[in-house]
Amino acid sequence: MKKDKQPQYGRILVKLSGEALGGASGVGICPQAVRDMAEHIREVRELGVQVVVVVGGGNIFRGMAGSERGIERATGDYMGMLATVINALALQDALEKQGVPTRVQSAITMSQVAEAFIRRRAVRHLEKGRVVIFGGGTGNPYFSTDTAAALRANEIGAEVILKATKVDGIYDSDPKKNPKARRFAQITYLDALQKQLKVMDSTAFSLCMDNKMPIIVFDSYKPHNLRRVVMGEKVGTLVTG
Ligand code: UDP
């Protein structure tokens, strides 16, 4: 990479699934996995890019899984939202240990551990160079943290959502089952819908499509991949209008 190359974006939103913080098993919190994700975020912040992170909670609890086992859906969803705050605190700890100033904002008020989500305040933190981690999803049951990512990205004026996953993009079929599966470098929202490719849940996806928010799905486990995406390298799959 040439030294004089500039980052492609000024403000990004990284969507980290809970699984990414759970290490190999994807369950619970794996300190090394959290450190690795923090390192990737530090790398892009050092490029001068403003970074917001929306964390998932699937490594700890999902409302849907709870409701299949007899927990009321809304209650389970709140449990899932609380789980995302646990993840946010873990990520905050790892980032601060790497010298990155952060703030956690939660969509569910929890004043002892996190600021409340206040849009203007979040933007101010970004301008001051702090990484802002959004926990608590949207604050509403029946939604997902992908929807929170789509909502917050629009609200705070992020230029792109970088969806960190285990796979290196969007394929025309499951690459684990089909060795001939083809990865898209770029795809339109409409094509993704027509081909029924699961980029995000439908609420999150329509929020992005309606507001022309680009999404890049990429493999976050590969070192320096987040940096490469931000530098405009053709990594993962770009979903756009
Ligand atoms: N959740 C919710 N509303 C939101 C975001 C999340 O109810 O706005 C709950 C929901 O139960 C979800 C859980 O929190 O299953 C964890 O979030 P998600 O499944 O999106 O996490 P990820 O798959 O990214 O780890």
The pLDDT of residue 3 is 56
The pLDDT of residue 33 is 97
Q: Which amino acid is at 56?
A: G
From the list 220, 239, 238, 216, the residue with the least C-alpha distance to 12 is 216
Ligand 1 pocket test, pick from 145, 147, 203 with the greatest ligand atom count within 8 Å of Cβ, gives 145
pLDDT at 118 over 80: yes
Ligand 1 lined by 26 (C-beta under 6 Å): no
- Where is average pLDDT lowest: 132-136, 149-153, 195-199, 202-206? 195-199
The pLDDT of residue 65 is 95
Ligand 1 lined by 57 (C-beta under 6 Å): yes
Work out whether strand 237-240 and strand 215-219 pair parallel, antiparallel, or are unpaired.
antiparallel
The pLDDT of residue 210 is 97
Q: Give the global pTM.
A: 0.96
Q: What is the pLDDT of residues 154-213, one digit of tens each?
A: 999 999 999 999 899 999 998 889 999 999 999 999 999 999 998 999 999 999 999 999
> 174: which residues sit within 8 A by CB, 6+ positions away?
181
Q: What percent of the chain has pLDDT over 90?
A: 95
Ligand 1 pocket test, pick from 81, 108, 147 with the greatest ligand atom count within 8 Å of Cβ, gives 81
Ligand 1, residue 142: give the atom nearest the CA. Answer: 7
pLDDT, mean of residues 24-45 = 97
Q: Check if the beta carbon of residue 152 is closer than 8 Å to that of residue 105.
A: no
Confidence band for 13, pLDDT divided at 50, 70 and 90: very high
Environment class of 218 (CB within 10 Å of its CB; exposed 0-12, middle 13-18, buried 19+): buried
Ligand 1 centroid to 142 CA: how many Å?
8
The pLDDT of residue 5 is 86
- Count CB neighbours of 201 within 10 A: 14
pLDDT, mean of residues 70-95 = 98
Ligand 1 centroid to 78 CA: how many Å?
9
Ligand 1 lined by 140 (C-beta under 6 Å): yes
Ligand 1 centroid to 6 CA: how many Å?
34
Q: What is the pLDDT of residues 205-225, one digit of tens each?
A: 999 999 999 999 999 999 999
Ligand 1 pocket test, pick from 68, 72, 84 with the greatest ligand atom count within 8 Å of Cβ, gives 84
Ligand 1 centroid to 71 CA: how many Å?
15
Q: What is the mean pLDDT of the chain?
A: 96
Q: What is the pLDDT of residues 46-57, one digit of tens each?
A: 999 999 999 999
- Rounded to the nearest 5 percent, the helix, strand and coil shares of the chain are 40, 20, 45
pLDDT at 4 over 90: no
CA distance 43 to 173: 32
